[in-house]
Structure 1
């Protein structure tokens, strides 16, 4: 059984969008006493439908800040984020929340599952928020848990799941509304190598089969190299990667680097 197609995914507007997401002249600063810290200094980014993009950079370079702006969790000082052609960053809170629920998914290093609910109920949450009936939401959630290999764990709560299983639940939750783009912040940071590799394979399969775009912030060199494109965030700007993830950035995350 394949996941059913939602009205959001079938909408003419989404189908006609050339790009999943676009950022233009995106800027963000923070005040630290009398000092002004320019974290992002004019980000330009275009993400195609179904493209998998890795963003790398040293700790403190602004990667999580950029994801928060792209995901509408924070607002830029200047510039614009467009989601499926819509000026996402300049929407009102209600409209931005609706677009985020319909067209964006989020996966973080720490899965942020709700401990009092089962895996099935956690995955159903975005559909329930979108106004889908409880029966349909639970059916769809069951399909997605099967898609990530957790059909036998649907009634388990997060404390009863392994780290890799919890991350798979988070991925199913991010994808249940068939979003145009999924944002991931260090999705394999707390996983062993074998589990991280299985997550990597899962992302590739879902991207190919659903035309879902992924933006993944990571220090994991193997995960980054499996993406379609790698960009480096440095000095507040994005630039193409030219020579692999830096040894410094990888060691900050405890990732072994093989320069051979």
Structure 2
């Protein structure tokens, strides 16, 4: 089986100029009620993620980076503003439609891999496809292809407890990629890894981005990872500020 993973991008091309963002938000605000008053975490965030783009979101602890990622992924509801996934406004969809849109267009990778310990690597990776009601044989075949692409062809029947930290994170990345999403959202994907393993994960993400054309939005404190991406955005006082674009970063 060919380990190189490809997606058909022709169907996903935008119909009009200016509609080529795979993920976008407009005037995104999030407030929490705390101590009898409203605490504003995000105040009018604007963002567009282009197809195949890799961007980092950095900021101080507690600045709202994970909150932003959850809103972009449709896992939380904004106080105001809108989030668009593949051009569709999440607020205009019902729960089932939002779930389908997330499952088919977005992948998620967290600092803690959140693998199911009782299942093998293959079963963990196949899970999103099975949730999407793909036939079992097809889901397993797709999972095998992705696991080979991330270098785990010989480890796919192992359970998470039998894998190293780097291998578990590779499984988590494979699980995020198996649905061929337009964009993968990552929250500190190398935060629990040693430097050598983190460097391997960096190379893996870059290779998969080039081969699959998938966009990556990565919340990170890792300066090496941020420097390897196309854009770096800093979350300050509830808004995203551009630190640099790759063309200006030498």
TM-score (norm 1): 0.89
Q: Which runs of 5+ in 1 are unaligned?
A: 243-260
Residue in structure 1 matched with residue 57 of structure 2 by the alignment: 55
Residue in structure 1 matched with residue 13 of structure 2 by the alignment: 15
Higher helix share: 1
Matches of 2:65 and 2:149, distance apart in 1: 29
- Poorly superposed stretches of 4+, deviation over 2 Å: 2-5, 9-12, 14-17
Q: Is the 1:3–1:140 Cα contact (8 Å) retained in structure 2? A: no
Residues 44-98 of structure 1, C-alpha deviations (whole Å, 9 max, x = no match): 0011100001000000000000000000000101111111111124321110000
Matches of 1:227 and 1:134, distance apart in 2: 36
Q: Is the 2:104–2:179 Cα contact (8 Å) retained in structure 1? A: yes
Residues 13-36 of structure 1, C-alpha deviations (whole Å, 9 max, x = no match): x23351111110000000112121
Q: What SS is found at the alignment partner of 1:182?
A: strand
**Number of matched pairs:** 238
The residue correspondences of 1:148-167 to structure 2 (distance < 5 A) are 148-167=150-169
Residues 103-145 of structure 1, C-alpha deviations (whole Å, 9 max, x = no match): 0000000000001000000000111111111011101101111
Q: Which runs of 5+ in 2 are unaligned?
A: 245-250
Q: CA deviation at 1:3?
A: 3.8
TM-score (norm 2): 0.92
Residue 230, structure 1, aligned to residue 232, structure 2 = yes
Q: What SS is found at the alignment partner of 2:13?
A: helix
C-alpha change, 1:10 and 1:38, in structure 2 (3 Å) is same
Matches of 1:152 and 1:118, distance apart in 2: 12
Matches of 1:138 and 1:32, distance apart in 2: 46
Q: Is the 2:5–2:212 Cα contact (8 Å) retained in structure 1? A: no
Matches of 1:114 and 1:11, distance apart in 2: 34
Q: Is the 2:65–2:219 Cα contact (8 Å) retained in structure 1? A: yes
What's the C-alpha RMSD, in Å, of the aligned pairs?
A: 1.3
